[in-house]
Amino acid sequence: MAPGSRTPAEAIEHYRGRTARLLACLTGEYVVVSAYHAADPPHQLELLDLAKLRAPHPLRLSVGEHYEAREDADGWRVEVVGYNYAIEHDGRDLVSYHWHPEGESPITWPHMHVGTDTHVGERWFGKVHLPTGVVGLERVVALAITELGAKPLRDDWERLIAEAADR
């Protein structure tokens, strides 16, 4: 594990930069963070706009993460404490990954939704919370490229995904 940063702002900028490099595999959209300090967490990181992906069919990506800057013995680090990732096809969610440990929903564990019109009895399957465990953004980027046909914008996309998985 790399040494921590000297300040919360430095740790958050490293986090924003790593995330921007990972997302540059698929999009040129700008990655923004809501704060560069440790007070009043969690803060939010997101893509400025829904990202249209280069693919043989209409795919778009949305990314939002909640993060906190925390200090440990090695310095300041950023920890992702929630997320909302979605891949859309033709303007509808194909798959979305959520983790919102705080908020109004009683479902606080990491889960996914699939975009489907299937019903199980009276229940619309697209609203069912399918358990996943924590899903890193690098897995969503890899899914878009390797399984859904999104064309990477960088030749080193595999290296960037591997680096993001090591964080």
Residue tagged 């889960």 (tokens): 111
Query: First and final CA of the chain: distance in angstroms?
Result: 7
118 within a domain of the structure (yes/no): yes
2 within a domain of the structure (yes/no): no
Query: What is the extent of the structural domain holding 123?
Result: 8-165
104 within a domain of the structure (yes/no): yes
The per-residue pLDDT for range 128-161, each reduced to its tens digit, is 999 999 999 999 999 999 999 999 999 999 999 9
Say if pTM beats, i.e. exceeds, 0.85. Answer: yes
DSSP 84-130: EEEEEETTEEEEEEEE-SSSS-S--S-EEEE----EETTEEGGG--E
* Domains identified in the chain, total number: 1
Q: Which two tokens stand for residue 91?
A: 């303007």
30 within a domain of the structure (yes/no): yes
Split at pLDDT 50, 70, 90, the class of 89 is very high
3 within a domain of the structure (yes/no): no
The per-residue pLDDT for range 7-56, each reduced to its tens digit, is 999 999 999 999 999 999 999 999 999 999 999 999 999 998 889 999 99
1 within a domain of the structure (yes/no): no
67 within a domain of the structure (yes/no): yes
115 within a domain of the structure (yes/no): yes
